[in-house]
Amino acid sequence: MKHTTRITVEQDTVTAITCDACEQRYDDVLEMQAFVHIVKTGGYGSIFGDGTAMECDLCQHCLQARLRDALRLEAQPGRL
């Protein structure tokens, strides 16, 4: 039999995100959900440097402005 005790745990919660491109701070939940967070490590021969850690947070507006022509968009009926 398992015996339990209720405990309170503190945790960090994201309350806002700042876009690395436009530097706009967003605290609206819907805008925050639309952010793209890129995490990548440069591989052998990378122009960024072998083993270089790269991170970027882009709002949906900057993502569209910068990658509009490269993005492949497809509606997904029934998916939210």
- pLDDT band for position 78 (50/70/90)? confident
Per-residue pLDDT tens over the stretch 13-55: 999 999 999 999 999 999 999 999 999 999 999 999 999 999 9
Hey, what's the torsion of the CAs at 60, 62, 63, 64, to 10 degrees? 90
What's the pTM?
Answer: 0.78
Break the chain into its structural domains and give their ranges. Answer: 17-67
> What is the distance between the alpha carbons of residues 24 and 35, in angstroms, rounded to a whole number?
12
Residue 80 has pLDDT above 80, yes or no: no
What pLDDT, on a 0 to 100 scale, did the predictor assign at position 21?
A: 98
Structure tokens at 69: 């022509």
